[in-house]
Amino acid sequence: MRVAVLVSGVGSILEAIWGSGLQVGLVLADRPCRGLEIAKARGVQVALVDRREFAGEDGEKFDRDAFSDAVSDRLLESGVGVVALAGFGTVLVGRIHGEFGGRMVNTHPSLLPSFPGWHSVSQALEAGVHVTGTTAHVVVPEVDAGPILAQVPVRVRFGDTVESLHERIKIAERQLFPQVLASAIACVGLGGEWWRSEKFWSLMQEVQG
């Protein structure tokens, strides 16, 4: 099954996906970024659906529907079966959730349902939690609210900054997300709520213990 990885930044989780041996059929970015460059250098098929091209002349009125449809069209064209959001910086809306519903998975740097959204690491620090972590989940229209696939806790340390804490969370994400993705690829063909299947749970148990 062909897999697309959606990126916006450094792409270290994308590198971890390659490192795990998974084949990536397409890397799609919403902006020029290192993630796109390393994919090009590796000879992987790439697509840039530049979100700046979907803004009004004042640069403010971002047409999220048109952008999401363009991403969906590009994914449909490339014939991917599973879509992995690995640090993708644009919330997707509209028909993509019908076309790829139950087949999009995301990695998020907090223990959901705590701290959804873009500032999860700083919010965890501000809240004074002692444990945060990472969550892999199925993407649904509501941001970071989809069914949880797996979670790994990360301890907050005295003196942590957003950067130091996020980097430790990303170490956990680089380990967890490729495993979840491989299990999702193996189970998505079951259809329906495959993440509730015994097969998915036992695959995850094998890798996570």
The Cα–Cα gap between 111 and 115 comes to 7
Choosing from 51, 108, 137, 168, the residue that interacts with ligand GRF (CB under 6 A) is 108
Give percent helix, percent strand, percent coil of the chain, each to the nearest 5: 45, 20, 40
Amino acid at site 66: A
Name which of residues 9 to 48 contact ligand GRF (CB under 6 A). 9-14, 35
Least separation, in Å, of the C-beta of 145 and ligand GRF? Answer: 15
Residues in contact with ligand GRF, counted by CB under 6 A, come to a total of 14
Name which of residues 82 to 101 contact ligand GRF (CB under 6 A). 86-87
Phi first, then psi, for residue 151 (nearest 5°) are -140, 150
Q: CA 163, 91, 176 angle in degrees (round to 5)?
A: 50
Q: Is 116 in the site for ligand GRF (CB under 6 A)?
A: no
With beta carbons less than 8 A apart as the criterion, state whether 145 and 161 touch. Answer: no
The Cα–Cα gap between 20 and 15 comes to 9
Where does this chain touch ligand GRF (CB under 6 A) — which range of 5-13, 146-154, 189-197, 200-208?
5-13
- 108 catalytic? Reply is yes
Q: Is 125 in the site for ligand GRF (CB under 6 A)?
A: no
Which residue has its beta carbon closest to ligand GRF?
87
The Cα–Cα gap between 44 and 41 comes to 8
Residues known to be catalytic: 108
Residues at the interface with ligand GRF (CB under 6 A):
9-14, 35, 86-87, 107-109, 170, 173
